[in-house]
Copies of this chain bind each other. A is one copy, B any other.
Amino acid sequence: MSTTGELKTTSRMGRQPSTSHAELSHVALELFRVRGFDRTTVDDIVAAAGIGRRTFFRYFPSKNDLPWGDFETLLERMREHLASLPSDLPLVEALCASVIEFNRLPASEIPYHRERMELLLHVPSLLAHSTLRYASWRQVVAEFVADRLQVPEDSLEPQAIAWAFLAVSLSAYEQWLKTEDADLLELLAAAFRTLDSAFRLREHG
């Protein structure tokens, strides 16, 4: 509407934010590391970050969402990776490759990722809450499968396969956390092979 056609993102800015997702996340994760998730209250976090309690809940919808960094961006990357694969690559191969790609991280990030996943998989309230986040991950897989099989996204096949790949990924993660220095990508591949051979063994009854 303005004469210059300037974007809303640069004009008419109000008060500047006093913190950021990254900063809150950093402060909170440190507290979780030291005192544990359950024994760290939101009041502890906002005190450490020097903001008001009310402000915290404008940055994160819940305490449970803190350990989940920018998951949506990761999902978008995975969606693109799936779309970029040649269409003659078999479905399961494509999914295995993409899941592994999705979990590839620079070596420097691995210790932090380990700590985050340790929380997400071993703190009961986070484990439970994670289910809601995984739903969007499954949706990405289901969309791809539905497109490949030419069936609706919400039909049985895409949903079952999406669930199964999530399931296998989680079992690989659990193994990864169990032993220091384990290779996550290798474990993922092994988990896929397990499922593969389990079902193959079915034949010769």
Binding site for B on A (CB under 8 A): 90-93, 124, 127-132, 154-157, 159-164, 166-168, 170-172, 174-175, 178, 187, 190-191, 194-196, 198-202, 204-205
Given A90-B205, A131-B127, A164-B168: A196 touches B194 (CB 8 Å cut-off): no
Q: Which of B159, B166, B195 is within 8 Å of A174, CB to CB?
A: B159
**A175: min CB distance to chain B, Å:** 5
Q: Are A90 and B202 in contact (CB under 8 A)?
A: yes
Chain B residue at smallest Cβ distance from A202: B92
Q: List 8 A-B contacts (CB under 8 A).
A: A92-B198, A130-B131, A155-B175, A157-B194, A162-B171, A163-B168, A195-B199, A196-B202
Report the separation of the CA atoms of residues A92 and B160 in the bound assembly, to the nearest whole angstrom. Answer: 16
**A57: min CB distance to chain B, Å:** 17
Query: Residues of B contacting A204 with CB < 8 Å?
Result: 90
Q: Are B131 and A93 in contact (CB under 8 A)?
A: no
Chain B residue at smallest Cβ distance from A156: B175
Report the separation of the CA atoms of residues A205 and B89 in the bound assembly, to the nearest whole angstrom. Answer: 7
Report the separation of the CA atoms of residues A53 and B159 in the bound assembly, to the nearest whole angstrom. Answer: 40
Q: Are B160 and A194 in contact (CB under 8 A)?
A: yes
Report the separation of the CA atoms of residues A167 and B162 in the bound assembly, to the nearest whole angstrom. Answer: 9
Query: Residues of B contacting A172 with CB < 8 Å?
Result: 156, 160
Q: Which of B157, B164, B187 is within 8 Å of A164, CB to CB?
A: B164
Report the separation of the CA atoms of residues A195 and B154 in the bound assembly, to the nearest whole angstrom. Answer: 16
Query: Which among A90, A172, A178 has the greatest number of chain B C-beta atoms within 10 A?
Result: A90
Chain B residue at smallest Cβ distance from A135: B127
Q: Are B160 and A168 in contact (CB under 8 A)?
A: yes
